[in-house]
Structure 1
Amino acid sequence: MSASQDTTPRNDIGNAPASAQDQLNRRVLFVDDESNILDSFRRTLRKRFDVTTASGPLSGLDTIRDHPAFAVVVSDLRMPKMNGVEFLSRVRSLSPDSVRIMLTAHADVEAAVAAVNDGAVFRFLTKPCQTETLIRAIEAGMEHYRLVNAERDLLRGTLRGSINVLTEVLALTNPEAFGRSQRIKGHMSALAKRFDRPDAWKLDLAAMLSQIGCVTLTSDMLHKKLAGGKLSADEKELLANHPDVGYNLLKHIPRLHDVAEMVRQQNTSLSENRQISFGARALKILLDYDARLQSGAQPDDALNDMLPAHDVYDSTILLAFAEMIRGSAPRSSRQLYLEDLRPGMVTAQNIETRDGTLLATAGQELSDASVSRIRNFARAYGLDEPLSILHSPDTEE
């Protein structure tokens, strides 16, 4: 790889050193097979941008793979082994957010226009290109890059905030359901890692939000079902419908359509639909396993009961999950008083007021809202201490 970089990135306001984020937003890669042109770019633009150069398209692709994201990639059209259109198309796959600009001779205008129309480039410039014209094009590309990333950050923040609100509402209105989603979340994360899933974030969200439809139910109803109690016909119908309620709550949130589908299909057996996603198959396994434990079964007994059911569960996922459970070391617990509770701690017992109001279930990770709720209810109704909390280095004082 032949790449050269000015190691003192600066912004264009008085040539003052740029912040870390500004440096990322002002990184530009020039790719050309003529070294004198690359030298010219470095000399002319290095005080204005964080300039990196690469000699030829193959070196350019290596540079993109080996370096932090470039805000703008500027490429010549006519290069050996790979032309600029093909190169920038490859850049689009490797670094989709990078804004792509192409330099071309007048005779190549037709090819350049086709590249723009195909979406391969943001803008094309004809040679010879005036320095100010090139600067304006790069600045426009960097502004586009900044706006795209700002919009993504806003979306991520909005999505994260929406999910936090939903889960906190569930924790406050139905701690039994919230505790159940918390218990399976860790298992889902481990499965996603085990299978090297590219959609791991969706799987985590599906586990976290799998019980969101239970906001329409009481904790007592779900507790009665998990404990093996007798349900009325109306209660059975309400419980059976909670995945659809969850789906309807989630389907309109941007980027959560796949998660909503997993939630809707969480109780679907393979015999009912062999086309359901990995996430829905995993949810079925994790929720049924949790239900068996809550009814009093031991982990080995629960797994042995599930493993022969090939028409219900995905055997590959279930076998991997069984290996994880059987290979995991048991966690010890410690006794803490109410004043020592902190968000992030995991309960080893159900936490209830003295009159029997459930505040948190065993295996639940405490949030700010749940800690506040426990303390408020303890003041109002009383609570027996100390409390049993799973021992973890993360919860050390």
Structure 2
Amino acid sequence: MEELSAPTPAHRPTVLLVDDEESILNSLRRLLRGQPYDLLLATSGAQALEILAQQPVNLVVSDARMPGMDGASLLAHVRERYPATARIMLTGYADPAAIIKAINDGQIHRYISKPWNDEELQLILRQSLEHQHSEQERERLERLNQVQNEQLKLLNSTLEKHVAARTAELQQTADMLDLAYEELKHSYVTGTEVFSLLANLRLPPAKQTNRQIIELVRSYCKQHGLDEATSRDLTMAAALYNVGKLSWTDAMMTTPSDLLRHTERERYRGYPKQSESLLMTLDPMKDAARLILHHQERWDGSGFPDRLKGEGIPFGSRLLKLAVDFVELQRGLILERQMNSDEALLYLRQYAGRLYDPDLVEDFILVCAAFLSDVTLADPSVKVLSTRDLAAGMILARNLNADNGMLLLNAGKVLSALLVEKLIAFEAMEGGKYTIFVKVPEEVEATLKALGE
């Protein structure tokens, strides 16, 4: 054991770092020097338990793999003997079994992947200590409430006026407890969002999805007046829907799911179940975990993991699938070609009744149109045409790009007959098929109608 600071004031928390590799402990000591808490070091699970028996410790950070007593076993002992002590495990990306064991046996509060990100590790430790402090304050207020109730019983028989004053004081305390509890629930949602952003750091910015999915789901909940509990579960599900992918290789995480090889595809189909397993032991996450488990089910029953069908799929899972696919289609995580927002919404509409709840699709399109500035599909004056359906006088409603991403025409361009012919020829030369969003002026529509007659 080694103490790294001056005598600990009563209000300063203590963090115990456990790793059998002294080089790791030294790195952590250098990184965390100067933080507003005291550090203790242990090189084994047995030594860590000795330290815990000698003095109070607020937070234990343990390596997963250690000789003798591994990290999951140590944290299970800590949970049994010192339940108020927060527990975090350090583990490698490719060790989901150790994570699951630690969650089930030690009920860890967080896990941190090796090699860690310095800022991420400092943030997680600080948040864990703050959460623990909030819990202690809530318990203190509850004890205070109990004491005040006992005092009220004694005063009730002697002084009515005094009882009235104390009742008002107790009401204030109850309001404080309600406020503290609501703040705790809000903090849990915020914590999941922060964790999702940290997990997204494994992906390049162009492939990150969670933030936009969270905002889309939150916007849907607000526009449709969903209750607070449903909104909270959906937000947490949107934040952590892909936590089961964290043990994948970087290459697999950025490969479109449509291009995955057979063995990779089987692993891909297992990620909703993996995500649910990681979250189910956390009581506030149970309902969100169920939504995550079923967010890859399909309306026609061809999805996974349980091949649920139609209304048998939880509502929140159906909504989450729309949001996930809408964003992942634009990030190139489903198909090889990245779609723009209108093309992605057109894909959702095309597969309504097969992959997606047909009653939800149009509502979701309207939410996207209100939330995103680049969506034109919800505008009734916008038509979606192929090149051979184009006519002179039509106006492009959004930029037209070739399949290789090259900009062909800007939004607002008025099409001429010659331009339409060139587009048809260029499309044939590329061997592609363009989807074109246009506005049709009334005079052009009248001309086309007359020609059709």
TM-score between both structures, scaled by the size of structure 1: 0.45
Greater RCO, 1 or 2 (C-alpha within 8 Å, sep 6+):
1
